[in-house]
Amino acid sequence: MRRGPEPYRTAMNSTTVRPATPDDVPAVKTVTDAAYGHYVERIGRPPVPMLADHAANVAAGRVFVVGEPVHGVLVLVPEPDHLFLDSIAVRPDMAGKGVGRELLGFVDAYAHELGLPEIRLYTNALMWENQKIYPRYGYEMVERRLDEGIYDRFHYRKRIAD
């Protein structure tokens, strides 16, 4: 299975997004929990990325990280007709420094390298900050639906140019 562009230099060419290794699993959990933890009270339960089996995702080649120490995490799942952006997390002390933008650039490059025509993602309806961010990066909201009977989510997609 392809593990993404290696190495992928970010647009500012200052950092490299790389596949996570088993040694990165504790940092993946720490960054994910820090990025999503403030939503627990708002949505009444831990967001799904906090409950993920990070070791299994790393072993499956789905996790990419940036920074030493790790300050950004992506979980990407290639599907036959799209790339699913399962999670994007940035350490809170790195917010506003372009890390999220760089990670989203990697997602675009990875989808293009895999020859996939679009990226899909969803976000909890109560994570209203995300509803402002994703459209700025070319994502369009395609529907709002209740998933698994408990997750009120906005589903987005972004078409990738050939």
Q: What would the pLDDT profile of 57-86 be if each residue is shown by its tens digit?
A: 999 999 999 999 999 999 999 999 999 999
Task: Work out the pLDDT band at 150, boundaries 50, 70, 90.
Answer: confident
Q: pLDDT confidence of 123, banded at 50, 70, 90?
A: very high
Strand 118-124, strand 83-90: pairing:
parallel
Residue 134 DSSP symbol: H
Q: What is the mean pLDDT of residues 147-160?
A: 92
Name the β-bridge partners of 147: 151
**Position 95 in a domain:** yes
pTM here is 0.89
Q: What is the pLDDT of residues 80-111, one digit of tens each?
A: 999 999 999 999 999 999 999 999 999 999 99
In a domain, 71, yes or no: yes
135 occurs within a structural domain: no
The tally of domains found in the chain comes to: 1
What is the C-alpha to C-alpha distance for residues 111 and 159, in angstroms, rounded to an integer?
10
Neighbours of 52 (CB within 10 A): 18
Q: What is the pLDDT of residues 21-37, one digit of tens each?
A: 999 999 999 999 999 99
Extract the tokens encoding 52.
Answer: 């993920």
CA distance linking residue 131 with residue 136, whole number of Å: 9
Q: Is 97 contained in some domain? A: yes
144: in domain: no
Q: Would you say residue 108 lies in a domain?
A: yes
- d(CA 11, CA 47) in angstroms, rounded, equals 30
- Taking residues 38-63, what's their average pLDDT? 96
**What gap in Å lies between CA 47 and CA 124, rounded to an integer?**
8
Does 86 map to a domain? yes
Q: Is 104 inside any structural domain?
A: yes
Domain extent at residue 78: 8-121
**Residue 115 is part of a domain; what is its CATH number?**
3.40.630.30
